[in-house]
Amino acid sequence: VVELALDMKNLKKLVAAMQKQATVRGPKTDRSGVALADVGANGEMALDYANFQLPLKREFFPQCEVIYGTGPDRNPVAKEPSTEPVIIFGARPCDAQSIDYLDKVMSDERSTDPYYQKRRDAAIIITLACDSPAATCFCTSLGGGPASTVGADVICFNLGTSLIFESVSAKGETFLKKNEKLFRTPTEKEVDTRKKLESDSEKKLSKIPVSGTPDSLKSKNDPAFWEALSETCLSCGACTYLCPTCHCFDFFEENVADGALKVRVHDACMFESFVKEASGHNPRANKRDRMRQRIMHKFSYTHDNFGKIFCVGCGRCIVNCPSTIDIRETVAKVNS
Ligand code: SF4
Ligand code: SF4
C-alpha cells in the first residue's frame, strides 16, 4: 500500500496534474446539493457533503444511452462509449462498494456488457472517506464502513489542512506513484488523525441486524405481510432509480430525422408496467408483489447468485421515498 499526504493548499495542483492525464469528475455544488460533475480549469471542488443525491453507477451505466443508431442507409451502427481515461474523485465508500457488486452483474465468464465495461476499464475511482455520515447511513450493517476500500482504486482522508491518499488497487498504486512529486510522507500525527477520523465516523453510524435476512425471507410468503409493507407505496420508482446497486434496464426504439435509435434506459421493478406482457397479462400487477420482488432481489436472490446482499446502506431510498418507507424498518420486520 502506498500512503501519501498532500497539503490542502496543493489540492488544485493535483487536480491540474490529473486533468493532464484524464477527464476529472469530482464533487461540485449544484441544485441537488453536491453532485459528481466535470471539474473545471479552476480545480474547485466541494469537500463537505454526506453523499451525492445520484448514485455512482450512472458514471458507468447511464440512466439513458444510445446503443445503436442508423444512418441514412438504415444500417445499424453501434454507438460505443468513450474509452478516454476518467478519474473520479470524491465518491463515498458505499458507492464504490456498489460498483464492486455491479461488476459481478455486468461481467462474468458467460458475457460482458461492453458499454459498462469500457467505462469501468477507463476509470480510476478515488473515494473520500466519510467524516460526517448522515443519520440515514447504515453501511457498517452491510460489511461496509466510512473507510471501506471495496471497489476503490485509491481512498482519500480529508484531515482539514491536509489529505491522506492510500492506494487500494494496482491501478491506484500506479496513479499515486505517477503523481508522487506532488505528495509527501504523512506525519505520525496525520496517521493518528486518519485513524481517529475512521473510528469517530463508525461511532456515528446506526447498526441494524441484516445478516439473517436472506434466510428470514425464505419463509415470508404471507401476502398480508407484503400487503402491509407496501400499503403506502406510490410505485414512483425513486428507491430503485437512486439505489446504487439496482441495475434493471429496458430498451426502446425512436425514429429520428436520419434513421432510428436504440436506447437503453434504467427501469424499476416498482413500476406497474415492469413485467407487463404484450398480451396484457401482468404477473406483478399489484404493489404488494412488486415490493416483495424488490426486497427479495436485494436481500435474497443476489445473495444466492453472487453471495452478496445488494444493499450498501447508503440510505438514499430512505431519504427520497415520498411515503417515508424506511428499508431499515422493512428489514427489521422481515427478521421479526
Ligand atoms: S436499498 Fe436503499 S439503502 Fe440500500 S443501497 Fe439501495 S438505496 Fe441505498
Ligand atoms: S420510493 Fe417509496 S413510494 Fe416510491 S416506489 Fe419506492 S417504496 Fe414506493
Query: d(Cα 268, Cα 103) in Å, to the nearest integer?
Result: 19
- How many helices and strands in the chain, by DSSP H and E? 12, 11
> Which residue numbers in the chain have pLDDT < 50?
none
How much is the pLDDT for 75?
A: 81
Cell of 194: 486518519
Q: Is the CB of 186 under 6 A from ligand 1?
A: no
How much is the pLDDT for 101?
A: 98
How much is the pLDDT for 171?
A: 97
How much is the pLDDT for 40?
A: 95
In terms of Cβ atoms closer than 10 Å to its own Cβ (0-12, 13-18, 19+), residue 189 is exposed
Q: Cα–Cα distances in Å, from 47 out to 35, 93, 97, 138, 189? A: 11, 15, 20, 21, 22
Of all protein residues, whose CA lies closest to atom 6 belonging to ligand 2? 239
**In ligand 2, which atom is closest to the CA atom of 268?**
5
Sign of the dihedral defined by the CA atoms of residues 44, 195, 99, 299, in that order: negative
**Which one, of 51, 156, 37, lies nearest residue 94 by Cα?**
51
How much is the pLDDT for 138?
A: 97
The whole-model pTM stands at 0.95
Asked if 123 and 60 count as a contact pair (C-beta separation under 8 A), the reply is: yes
Cell of 264: 437503453
R_g over Cα of the chain? 21
How much is the pLDDT for 73?
A: 77
Q: Could you tell me where the beta strands, DSSP code E, fall in 92-176?
A: 123-128, 154-158, 162-167
Q: Is the CB of 14 under 6 A from ligand 1?
A: no
Of all protein residues, whose CA lies closest to atom 5 belonging to ligand 1? 311
How much is the pLDDT for 77?
A: 84
Q: How many CB atoms lie within 10 A of CB 19?
A: 16
How much is the pLDDT for 145?
A: 97
Minimum-distance ligand to the CA of 238? 2
Of all protein residues, whose CA lies closest to atom 2 belonging to ligand 2? 321
Pocket test for ligand 2, best of 323, 328, 333 (most atoms within 8 A of CB): 323
Q: Cα–Cα distances in Å, from 183 out to 27, 77, 164, 167, 180? A: 21, 45, 9, 13, 5
How much is the pLDDT for 72?
A: 72
Q: How many CB atoms lie within 10 A of CB 57?
A: 23
How close is the Cα of 246 to the center of ligand 1, in Å? 9
Sign of the dihedral defined by the CA atoms of residues 77, 251, 63, 217, in that order: negative
Of all protein residues, whose CA lies closest to atom 6 belonging to ligand 1? 243
Buried b (16+ CB within 10 A) or exposed e, 274-313: bbeeeeeeeebeebbbbbbbbbbbbbbebbeeeebbbbbb
Q: Which helix (H) or strand (E) covers residue 192, if one does? A: helix 188-204
